[in-house]
Amino acid sequence: MIKQYIGAARLRTLPLSISGIIVGSSIAASQGYFNWIIFTLALLTTVGFQIISNFANDYGDGVKGTDNNNRIGPKRAIQSGAITPKQMMKAIKFSIALTLIVAVLLIYFSFGKDDFLNLSIFFILGIASIAAAMKYTMGKKAYGYSGLGDLFVFLFFGLLSVCGSYYLYTKQLDLIIFLPAFSVGFLSIGVLNLNNMRDMESDIISGKNTLVVKIGSKLSKYYHYFLLLLSFLLTLLYIIINYKSQIQFLFILAYIPIVKHFIIVYKNTIPKLLDSELKKLAISTFVFSMLFGLGEILSKNF
């Protein structure tokens, strides 16, 4: 049974989920702010949120019948019968409890016990993250079924992940941080958009009105190009404004596979063949965060 839960957790999505934490933390570290305890707890909290989201998506799409034989991607746990809806709900509740404990520890180690304002704000953001993770496909008003998934991915994977993690260290927020935050957000939306392009036909049948379903496959491709290109330009703008050393341009290496991915999407005419591109773009986003972070940290010594 443990193997089934590990499968439902979709470990391949975890590198994407922590990309924003790496970017925000590396910018803070390059400015002389860093704490290994905060970094570790931030990673664990984010992984917890992602696992809750994956369990909730499995549950929501499973009980709604969206995950069926028409779905192109790998079979989900409830869809295959490996885990029952009741068992999945227990796993969701357990994951929420565990993640909340880690999140509270993160907030405490970041702000202490006397900074009531920041303690309250980040606790509320933690609750909001859990709610967003669950409501993507769960419930009658699941926002993933109304074309709002892209917006929430941008807010939580981009802005909150990068800017929030930066603030945990520095207790301040510089507007320039929003540039790489936007980049991570756009790349994360790109992964979701790719998933929705792949699943467009089955989503239409199931009544899941993703943004791709609403705007159609042709515009979805243009939208995808826009996300990839803008993610690059915004990071480049950040480096130009915040230039310290040539090593900061190290992030460009991550865009070599992204350019190849761009070409594959451009030439694609069969949605199901986009499935393998999901993993490639997710890993490329993680590599981007690592190279960007390395460039920021090393720029202090070059």
**Is 153's pLDDT higher than 90?**
yes
Residue 68 pLDDT: 56
Of residues 144 and 117, the one with the higher pLDDT is 117
Residue 50 pLDDT: 93
Residue 103 pLDDT: 96
Average pLDDT over residues 127-146: 86
What pLDDT digit, counting tens, does each position of 76-100 carry? 677 766 788 888 889 899 999 999 9
Of residues 20 and 2, the one with the higher pLDDT is 20
CA distance from start to end of the chain: 51
Of residues 1 and 273, the one with the higher pLDDT is 273
Residue 8 pLDDT: 77
Q: What is the CA radius of gyration of the chain?
A: 19
Residue 15 in tokens: 């590198």
**Is 136's pLDDT higher than 90?**
no
Which pLDDT band holds residue 147 (cuts at 50, 70, 90)? confident
The 8 Å CB, 24+ separation contacts for 126-134 are: 126/45, 126/100, 129/49, 129/156, 129/160, 130/49, 130/52, 130/96, 130/99, 130/100, 132/53, 132/156, 133/49, 133/50, 133/52, 133/53, 133/56, 134/52, 134/53, 134/56, 134/92
Which pLDDT band holds residue 186 (cuts at 50, 70, 90)? very high
**Is 74's pLDDT higher than 80?**
no
Q: Cα separations (Å) of 156 from 5, 10, 161?
A: 24, 18, 6
User: Mean of the per-residue pLDDT values for the chain?
Assistant: 90
Average pLDDT over residues 229-257: 96
Nearest to 232 by CA among 262, 263, 192: 262
Residue 71 pLDDT: 56
**Is 70's pLDDT higher than 70?**
no
Tell me which of 12-16, 128-132, 161-165, 220-224 is least confident: 12-16
Residue 143 in tokens: 């926002």
Which pLDDT band holds residue 2 (cuts at 50, 70, 90)? confident
